[in-house]
Each structure stands twice: as structure tokens, then as C-alpha cells.
């Protein structure tokens, strides 16, 4: 896998920890914040609406009981002049008035006046008197005079020092005697009384009449200079802002829609606290992210340290270093993996060593087998030559048999794997002398061996099969043949060339031979070349072997490339083997 594209398991763990820690915290924080916000909003809305409804209910009950009191007082005929002298009747009226004031949510002042607007009874020593000018009534008296069968509702604006000090709400019914109005019974609900009623609830409130005048208010800012309610309240929705303050308002009608009750909750402070709380949560969340990031990095490093050791061990094993020691002491599954890895590496090293030994034995066995293939082939050719020489020159036959005996001892000695080049040349000369006896002046050979090259160790019989191949094919279309053997050391390699001036090789046949050498195949007619090439490959590797170059009718050159070995080898330059003296 590409290292640039490969992701780190440690980074994956860190990202997973951050994602699974930050995301839930963020969602829970967000959920808590919005839950608290909506719960608070719902509580504000619910409480304010309930307070508005309760306040309207109290007003309805107060005015309903007030009307009932006035109906009870005016339900009987009362002679106002007699009332002044009738203590029992006054006591009864006072008892009704005090029971009403005790049970009514909004305290009202009770007045009983005669037709001349003189106070006959009062719950307040400081009575508000509605004057009469001649036969003309003013204020609520006029409303009653115009509609004598109804309980009149009237709003009396109180002005002090040319400033509206408040609006009193007045209920009034006429008192009759013998079919004539003999007086009036009044209940006066002052603005202070209604404000006391509003203050009993947990919210601020404003009460207005159907004309938009403020009857009672616990927040003066909602009343303008004319005593009317400000448009911000009546023209806004549930939530609105006025004079830089935020409010929630809920309205309810009272006494049949003649009054409207506004319950108000100031939410500016709570919103500011919510903003500060949200800012604090954001700050806490920011530092929490930093803490989680640092903790995730530390935890990822701790938890992936063992994985890093395993990764290093596998990389070392992949590069061929099987001796890397993996020591994991984590008391978990990774320790078992580490132990199994060490056991696996030990088994692999033993298996590799066993395979190397088996391969070495197989190579040596094949090398010995290849070497043994020279013997029958060479022996057959040499005996043919001796048979021919025995008929031509019996005296020279003895010398040829001595050369043959030495050459046979050298070739069949399986304890010799490699020899110095000069030694192999020495035994090859025995073969060349035999061939010289056979061909006479038609055959010649020349050796040019560099002293440094002569000391290098080479596989035994590396020259004889090639020279034999030159003699076999070089004489095919020529009457004479000269073989030249040269050896030099270049670039830490031993280069041996065997050149003949024989018939050469046709181009198509040359390509076949080169292909056989590359593929290390053994073909009839070129057993010597292929065996030497394969033996070199088995002993030294694919970088060494034979190369053939030839021109038809001009000769052939075989180039042998070997490593420079300063010690006897068998199956490679590192092995030692015994060698025999020439």
C-alpha cells in the first residue's frame, strides 16, 4: 500500500475517540441548553397566561360580588332621612359591606348617598363626592339617572396637580323610595386597590378599560401622559421589547370585556442570563474539545504503542530481518500475538535454514550429476582417438593412456568442487595433447592466462567441455583449427574466453543456442555448453554463465563470466572444498 495514502491506526483511534466524545457532549450540551430554554419559555408563557386568567377571574369575582352587594342594598326601599335615625338598618348595611370587603379579592370603598349627594354611609372617611348642579347629575350619577334599571360602570379619572393620578372604577345603583330615586349606592374600586390585587400574583400587570385608559398598572412605563396604555403593549405580540426591556404579555378579558387584563413577565434578565449561560457553555465546550483532543492523542498513543511494535516487527520481517526481537508485555491479547510472532519467526528461521540446506544438497547433487555426464561422453571420444593412434603410432599410445588416466582421475574425483584456473588449465592440457596427437598439425591451441586470473577458483572441468565443443563443430567445414583460451580479471569478475577459427555457427542456430542458454535447457549436440552454463548458474547465481558469439565460416567465441573467488568453493564462493594438485 502507498505510504502516502495509508492511514495511521493511531490517527483513526484518535479521530474515533474525538468523534465519539465530542459529538455526544456537543449534542447533549445543545439538547440541555435548548431544553432548558424551551422549558423556561414554556414556564414563562404558562405562568403568565395563568396569572392573566387568574387576575381576570379575580376581577370578575370582585365586580360580580360588588354588583350582588349593590343589588342586595338597593333591593329594598330605603328612606334616606329615616336611615339617619335607624341604627338597626345602618348596622345591617355595614355588616353586608364588611362581609363583602372581607371576601372580595379587590377591596372597594362603599358609599351610600342621598339624592342631594350627601353621604349617609361610607367605608372611608375621605369620601369622593359626585356633585349635583341643580337637577343635573354628573359622572356616574348621570349614568344611573339615564339608565336607572342597570348597574352603572363608570371610570373616574383622578387628576392631581394637573397630572392624571389614576382612574377609579365605580359601580353604582339607585336607591328607590316610593318609586323615586332617593339616593345612590356606590362601590369605588381605586387604582391602588386594583394594583394590590395585581401584586398578589407573581407577575406585573396592566388593566385597561374598553377606551384604552389604564385603570391599574404595576409598571408605570406602560401608561402615557394621557393615562392611556402605550401602543407597544396593545399592538405587539406575545413577546415584545419596549424601552430596551424584553417582556412577555398575556391578556384576558374581564367583566364581560369591559376590562382587559395584561399579565407581564420581564424576561430581559433571564435572556441575559441565558446568553451568559450559553456563552459559558460554548467556552466550556471549547476547552472540553481541547482536553478531549489531548486526551485522545495520549490514549491513542498508549493503546497503539503495541501496534507500532508489531508493525515495526512485520516491516523488519518483510525486509528480510527475521532476527528482530519483539518483546510485548501488555498483559492482553497483544502479548499473545507478540509471543506467537516470536514463535513464528523462530519456526520460519529454522524452516529457512532447513530449506537452504536441502537446496544446497540438491544443487550439489545436480552439480555432481552434471559433472558425471562429462565422463562417458569424453571417454568415448578419447578412446576413439586412442584406438586410432594405436593403429597409427603404437609408441605414442602409452603416453596418451597416461594422459587419459590423469584426466579420468581428475574428472571422476567427486570430492573436488572447484579448483584454481591454472589447475583446470593443467588438466585441460592433457585433453588438448590427446587431441593434438589425433589431429596433428591441423590442430593448434594457445593459452593467455593473466596471473591474477590463474589464481582464481573456478568449477572443475569448466574449459574442457567448451574446447571439446569447438573441436567437434569447428572441423566440420575446415581442414585446420586453432583454439585460443584467454583469462583476465575485470571489474571484480573473472572473464574467460574460448575462441576458435572454425566453421562458425549459422545465425538461426546461434539464436537457438542463446535461447537454450538463457532458459538453461539441455539440447542434443550442445550438452557441454548447457551443462557448464547450468553448473555455473547453480553455483554462483543468474548473474554469471556463458555467452556465445559466432560468425559463420569465421569462428566462434564463448565467453565465460565468473565471480572472483580466492578460495575453493562448492555451491558458491563461501563453501570450501578440497582440491587436488596437477
- 208 contacts: CB under 8 Å, gap ≥ 6: 214, 215, 229, 234, 259, 260, 262
pLDDT at residue 375 above 60? Answer: no
Least confident span in 246-260, 335-349, 550-564: 335-349
Least confident span in 179-193, 375-389, 486-500: 375-389
pLDDT, average across residues 116-129:
70
* pLDDT attached to residue 436: 84
Count of CA atoms in the C-beta half-sphere (13 A) of 16: 9
Tell me the pTM.
Answer: 0.49
Least confident span in 8-17, 255-264, 314-323, 549-558: 8-17
Q: Each residue of 422-438: pLDDT tens digit?
A: 998 988 888 888 888 77
* φ/ψ bin of 233: left (φ > 0), alpha (ψ from -120 to 50), beta (otherwise): alpha
What is the CA angle 216-222-224, rounded to 5? 95
Most confident of 25-34, 60-69, 153-162: 60-69
pLDDT at residue 509 above 70? Answer: yes
pLDDT, average across residues 479-502:
92
pLDDT at residue 8 above 70? Answer: no
pLDDT at residue 60 above 60? Answer: yes
* pLDDT attached to residue 488: 95
* pLDDT attached to residue 581: 33
- 448 contacts: CB under 8 Å, gap ≥ 6: 484, 485, 486, 487
Look at residues 251, 250, 237, 244 and name the one whose alpha carbon lies nearest to residue 271.
Answer: 244
Rounded distance between C-alpha atoms, residue 461 and residue 532, angstroms? 8
Q: Are 74 and 174 in contact (CB under 8 A)?
A: yes
Average pLDDT, the chain: 77
When pLDDT is cut at 50, 70 and 90, the band that residue 1 belongs to is: very low
pLDDT, average across residues 449-472:
89
Query: b or e along 416-429 (b: 16 or more beta carbons within 10 Å of the residue's beta carbon)?
Result: bbbbbbbbbbebbb
pLDDT, average across residues 89-97:
78
When pLDDT is cut at 50, 70 and 90, the band that residue 3 belongs to is: very low
Rounded distance between C-alpha atoms, residue 267 and residue 553, angstroms? 116
Give the Å distances, CA to CA, from 252 to 138, 144, 293, 356, 437. 31, 28, 55, 102, 143
Q: Are 414 and 581 in contact (CB under 8 A)?
A: no
Q: Are 556 and 548 in contact (CB under 8 A)?
A: yes
User: What percent of the chain is modeled with pLDDT above 90?
Assistant: 9
- 381 contacts: CB under 8 Å, gap ≥ 6: 468
When pLDDT is cut at 50, 70 and 90, the band that residue 293 belongs to is: confident
When pLDDT is cut at 50, 70 and 90, the band that residue 500 belongs to is: very high
R_g of the chain computed on alpha carbons: 65
* pLDDT attached to residue 487: 95
pLDDT, average across residues 374-385:
65
Q: Are 183 and 120 in contact (CB under 8 A)?
A: yes
* pLDDT attached to residue 446: 93
> What would the DSSP string read from start to end of 269-314?
HHHHHHHHHHHHHHHHHHHHHHHHHHHHHHHHHHHHHHHHHHHHHH
Amino acid at each position: 500500500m502507498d505510504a502516502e495514502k495509508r492511514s495511521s491506526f493511531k490517527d483513526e483511534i484518535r479521530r474515533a475517540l474525538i468523534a465519539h466524545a465530542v459529538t455526544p457532549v456537543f449534542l447533549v450540551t445543545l439538547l440541555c441548553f435548548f431544553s432548558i430554554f424551551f422549558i423556561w419559555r414554556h414556564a414563562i408563557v404558562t405562568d403568565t397566561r395563568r396569572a392573566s386568567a387568574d387576575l381576570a377571574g379575580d376581577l370578575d369575582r370582585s365586580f360580580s360580588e360588588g354588583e350582588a352587594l349593590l343589588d342586595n342594598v338597593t333591593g329594598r326601599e330605603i328612606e334616606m332621612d329615616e336611615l339617619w335615625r335607624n341604627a338597626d338598618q345602618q348596622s345591617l348595611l355595614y355588616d353586608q359591606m364588611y362581609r363583602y370587603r372581607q371576601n372580595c379579592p379587590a377591596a372597594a370603598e362603599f358609599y351610600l348617598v342621598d339624592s342631594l349627594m350627601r353621604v349617609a354611609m361610607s367605608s372611608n372617611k375621605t369620601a369622593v363626592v359626585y356633585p349635583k348642579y341643580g337637577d343635573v347629575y354628573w359622572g356616574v350619577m348621570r349614568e344611573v339617572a339615564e339608565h336607572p334599571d342597570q348597574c352603572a360602570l363608570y371610570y373616574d379619572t383622578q387628576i392631581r396637580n394637573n397630572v392624571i393620578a389614576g382612574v377609579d372604577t365605580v359601580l353604582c345603583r339607585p336607591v328607590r323610595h316610593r318609586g323615586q330615586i332617593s339616593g345612590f349606592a356606590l362601590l369605588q374600586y381605586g387604582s391602588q386597590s386594583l394594583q394590590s390585587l395585581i401584586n398578589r400574583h407573581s407577575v406585573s400587570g396592566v388593566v385597561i378599560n374598553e377606551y384604552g385608559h389604564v385603570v391599574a398598572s404595576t409598571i408605570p412605563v406602560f401608561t402615557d401622559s394621557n393615562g392611556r396604555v402605550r401602543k407597544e403593549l396593545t399592538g405587539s405580540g406575545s413577546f415584545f421589547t419596549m424601552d430596551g426591556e424584553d417582556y412577555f404579555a398575556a391578556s384576558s378579558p374581564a367583566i364581560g370585556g369591559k376590562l382587559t387584563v395584561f399579565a407581564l413577565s420581564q424576561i430581559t434578565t433571564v435572556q441575559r442570563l441565558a446568553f451568559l449561560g450559553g456563552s459559558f457553555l460554548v467556552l466550556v465546550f471549547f476547552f472540553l474539545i481541547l482536553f478531549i483532543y489531548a486526551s485522545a492523542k495520549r490514549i491513542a498513543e498508549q493503546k497503539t504503542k503495541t501496534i507500532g511494535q508489531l508493525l515495526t516487527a512485520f516491516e523488519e520481517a518483510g525486509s528480510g530481518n527475521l532476527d528482530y526481537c519483539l518483546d510485548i508485555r501488555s498483559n492482553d491479547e497483544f502479548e499473545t500475538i507478540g509471543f506467537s510472532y516470536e514463535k513464528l519467526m523462530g519456526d520460519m528461521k529454522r524452516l529457512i535454514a532447513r530449506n537452504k540446506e536441502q537446496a544446497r544438497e540438491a544443487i550439489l547433487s545436480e552439480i555432481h550429476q552434471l559433472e558425471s555426464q562429462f565422463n562417458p561422453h569424453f571417454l568415448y571420444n578419447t578412446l576413439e582417438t586412442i584406438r586410432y593412434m594405436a593403429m597409427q603410432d603404437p609408441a605414442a599410445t602409452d603416453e596418451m593412456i597416461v594422459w587419459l588416466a590423469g584426466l579420468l582421475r581428475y574428472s571422476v574425483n567427486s570430492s573436488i568442487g572447484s579448483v584454481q584456473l591454472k589447475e583446470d588449465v593443467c588438466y585441460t592440457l592433457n585433453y588438448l595433447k590427446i587431441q593434438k596427437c589425433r589431429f596433428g598439425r591441423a590442430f593448434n591451441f594457445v593459452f593467455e592466462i593473466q596471473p591474477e586470473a590463474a589464481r582464481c577458483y573456478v568449477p572443475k572441468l569448466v574449459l574442457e567441455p567448451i574446447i571439446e565443443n569447438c573441436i567437434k563443430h569447428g572441423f566440420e567445414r575446415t581442414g585446420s583449427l586453432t583454439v585460443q583460451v584467454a583469462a583476465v580479471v575485470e571489474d571484480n569478475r573473472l572473464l574467460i574466453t574460448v575462441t576458435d577459427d572454425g566453421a562458425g555457427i549459422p545465425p538461426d542456430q546461434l539464436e537457438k543456442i542463446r535461447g537454450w542458454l538463457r532458459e538453461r535447457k539441455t539440447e542434443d549436440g550442445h550438452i557441454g555448453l548447457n551443462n557448464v552454463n547450468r553448473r555455473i548458474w547453480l553455483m554462483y547465481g543468474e548473474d554469471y554463465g556463458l555467452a556465445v558469439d559466432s560468425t559463420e565460416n569465421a569462428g566462434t567465441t564463448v565467453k565465460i563470466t565468473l565471480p572472483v573467488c580466492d578460495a575453493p568453493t562448492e555451491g558458491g564462493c563461501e563453501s570450501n572444498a578440497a582440491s587436488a594438485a596437477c
